[in-house]
Structure 1
Amino acid sequence: MPPRARVLSDLISAFMLLTRLPVRGTPTPAAADAAWAWPLTGLVVAGLASMLGLGALWLGLSPPAVAALTLLALIAMTGALHEDGLADMADGFWGGFTPERRLEIMRDSRIGAYGVIALVLSLTIRWSLIATAILLLNPLAVVIAAVVSRAPMAVLMRWLPPARTDGLSRGSGVPPLSGVAIGVALAVAALVPAGMSGIVAGLTVIGVTLGMGVLARRKIGGQTGDVLGATQQLSEIAVLVALTSG
């Protein structure tokens, strides 16, 4: 496949997998091969959500209301994919006592107490941080966080084996090292405009990724789609904290 056609195929695959945006075309057969493009999905969905937020701000809505609207748009465009992963991981990791039981709980479509707590905390913290970014006149914070937070998913897919013998993570394959490197490079590029805060954000995301990797290996012996989604959520929060502090 010619390089240009391969890039287009990877982009289609990335947007089909990680968003609910209407995309047509032929995706890359192995979803993990398109992992380099995952940060770009964050760029698009956060860019659109930020534009909506700026429009609402221009119409006179308060920063808290604009933050809620922006967050709602982000969730709608991704189909709450990452939020669902966070809730499932919280239920499984802390609701089961063996790797097998944890994986069983994570596959259950019903949400438990740990999942509710994790989801409420994630939504509340992100809403508060987005509102703070608006007050600080830092609309790029949401976009930067969305771009950077999607790179660690590819890192974990490359680093850890799938914890299941089936499922999305197993079927997606292993991202090539070159794809992981490009995704990380895109994340680093997104952090450059933030200066010193960007450096802090990058170091924090590295810590989150390492911590999630160690935790996932200890709890279930590898990674799943839920673990990747939870990593995205925690990384997004980490970046927003760094970009809205001090």
Structure 2
Amino acid sequence: MSHAFNWSLRQWQLFCLALAFFSRIPVPASTPYSPELLNQSSRYLSLVGLLLGTVQALLLLATAQLLPFSIAVLLSLVAGLVLTGAFHEDGLADTADGLGGGLSLERKLEIMKDSRVGTYGLVALFSVFLIKWQSLQALDSQAVWALVLVAGLSRATAVSLTFVLPYQQLDAVSKSKPIATSLQKRALVWIWLFVLPLLSLLPVSLALSLLVTLILCFALLFVYYRSQLQGYTGDLLGAAQQVTELSCYLVWLVWWRQQG
């Protein structure tokens, strides 16, 4: 009994640690922290995504009763930015600036480390946000389920890249270093265990389409990141989450339109 309680307590603490690192949602102040624990907490990233997506979906359902659907969708997306502190969007902007403006490996990493946002970053942020807004609006009633499920699937895909690529950094100071050192292989099982079963709740054709989309995003991002940086950074993982999220929305929208 004591062993089961200790195990459950440790998992709860790891989940809280993941929630604290990947969102702005408050967690108990007593939650222990160490780089090793933060490493282990990455197994709950997809579950954190599902939680964030659920909050956005509930907000969409509530505001859609009072406001035009397009405004409700916009508010749900803004809520996502608030909940995460634009954590992944920051990675997207830095990646666009670094890979778009840097020629050498060192220069790309140097640009991504710069807190300022350049033209490539602004264009990427605006384009992705606008397409996500229009896609969710066009999904109509499907948008609620898309917000929840894609939030988990996209994060699982992004963090899975850490198992096949080495970590790259310009120097010893990096905001992503604590989660990028030595993820254990069994963590990959945990990451996908929270999201893959949910695909069974969707129509088979949609579930297969999303699964193929995830595989393609993973493969293409792996090849691109390896060719550009011979590895990954925290910013590249944020960009991977955004690209995968957008891709899933678009594929879901294509499927939804075909049903009509």
2:184 is equivalent to residue 176 of structure 1: yes
Counterpart of 1:180 in structure 2: which amino acid? L
Change in CA separation of 1:118 and 1:101 when aligned onto 2, cut-off 3 Å: same
Gaps of 5+ in 2: none
Residue pair 1:12, 1:28 contacting (<8 A) in 2 also:
no
Tell me how far 1:171 sits from its aligned partner.
2.7
Which residue does the alignment assign to 1:57? Answer: 64
- Partners of 2:237 and 2:88 in 1: how far apart? 8
Residue pair 1:52, 1:70 contacting (<8 A) in 2 also:
yes
Tell me how far 1:221 sits from its aligned partner.
1.9
Counterpart of 1:161 in structure 2: which amino acid? P
C-alpha RMSD of matched pairs (Å): 1.6
Moved over 6 A (4+): none
Residue pair 2:93, 2:124 contacting (<8 A) in 1 also:
yes
Structure 2 residue corresponding to 1:200, chosen from 201, 205, 209: 209
Counterpart of 1:45 in structure 2: which amino acid? L
Which residue does the alignment assign to 1:10? Answer: 14
SS at match of 2:194: helix
Aligned pairs for 1:28-177 within 5 A: 29=34, 30=36, 31-59=38-66, 61-133=67-139, 135-164=140-169, 165-166=171-172, 167-172=174-179, 173-177=181-185
Which range is displaced more, 28-37 or 43-52? 28-37
Tell me how far 1:138 sits from its aligned partner.
4.4
Tell me how far 1:202 sits from its aligned partner.
1.6
Tell me how far 1:206 sits from its aligned partner.
1.5
Tell me how far 1:150 sits from its aligned partner.
0.8
Deviations 1:57-102 (A, max 9, x none): 112x111111101100111100000000001001001101000000
Deviations 1:172-217 (A, max 9, x none): 2222111111212222123222222121112111111121122112
Tell me how far 1:28 sits from its aligned partner.
5.2
Deviations 1:191-246 (A, max 9, x none): 22222212111211111112112211211121111010001101111221222223
Tell me how far 1:137 sits from its aligned partner.
4.4
SS at match of 1:58: coil
Gaps of 5+ in 1: none
2:235 is equivalent to residue 230 of structure 1: no
Q: Percent identity?
A: 30
- Partners of 2:152 and 2:126 in 1: how far apart? 22
Deviations 1:136-168 (A, max 9, x none): 444211101101111023211121111115323
Counterpart of 2:149 in structure 1: which amino acid? I
Residue pair 1:86, 1:229 contacting (<8 A) in 2 also:
yes
2:227 is equivalent to residue 215 of structure 1: no
- Partners of 1:147 and 1:243 in 2: how far apart? 15
Q: Give the TM-score, by structure 2 length.
A: 0.89
Structure 2 residue corresponding to 1:186, chosen from 194, 197, 205: 194
Q: How many residues align?
A: 244
Q: Give the TM-score, by structure 1 length.
A: 0.94
Tell me how far 1:27 sits from its aligned partner.
4.1
- Partners of 1:78 and 1:5 in 2: how far apart? 25
Which residue does the alignment assign to 2:31? Answer: 26
